[in-house]
Amino acid sequence: MDTNFTLRGGIVMPAIGYGTYKAADGEDESHIRMALETGYRLLDTASFYGNEYLVGKAMKESGIERKDIFLTTKVWKADLGYETTLKSVECSLKRLGTDYVDLCLIHWPKPAPFADYWKELDRGSWRALEKLCRQGLIRAIGVSNFLPHHLEALIKEAEILPAVDQLELHVGYMQEAAAAYCRAHGIVLQAWSPLGRRRVMEDLSVVRMAEKYGVTAAQLLLKFLLSLDIAVIPKSSTRERMEENLNLPDFELAWEDLSFLRCLPQSGWSGEHPDLARVPV
């Protein structure tokens, strides 16, 4: 299995990263530092997570050279628009204690599910990211939670095309239409919540298939996505799980098993959708 993805412009991104959402409480960056010690070299954060300072602190304390860490952050939906996006990234860089990020994403396509002015806001944010990319403050730019109609509106006026779309993707919620659109436009898919929560992890068919391959359910679910050329950013708070998620055994899923997992009924969805009010799940 290739351990990296190559983005537009030849930028290399690790296939497996560490999701830092809720990984740090208060002033404790130990889980993020542990992830780096375990071997993760992609850290995914966002202004909304409120932990950029701790991510930066963990990076500094790790002793790992900045160039060897792939750092992603995101512009929150309340900061959509040209000037507010410029300011958001400036603040993120200060909190992270770095002079550049490897990837910056627009976190959500709309400031609110039923907002009717989102296209201009997105285009303004994108112009800002393009400017920062040309200035060298961002190496690659992309989006998160953008569906085909959001991407189409953005791409029409973009000078730099999105490198990544970070989506909720996992067994039971594969978003095939969005995934197909991204693939057709050369946009790398990256999965948040790649394990799909406990409902997917404990699904009997998933557990039995993991036993068949001699791996854990988590390793099966991650390998499934990677087999479909989808990068992953799992979360964990224990060293054992971090190592398990990063160091996947060398096994290949049979075609019929890949097909079976792709066709399972919807399960494990977060309830988050850019065009809808949050659905209780």
The residues near 190 (Cβ < 8 Å, ≥ 6 apart) are 17, 164, 165, 166, 167, 230, 231, 232, 233
Catalytic-residue membership of 53 = no
Report the C-alpha gap between 98 and 149 in whole angstroms: 34
Give me the catalytic one of 40, 49, 173, 181: 49
Give the amino acid at 120.
Answer: E
The residues near 266 (Cβ < 8 Å, ≥ 6 apart) are 172, 173
Instruction: Give the active site residues.
Output: 49
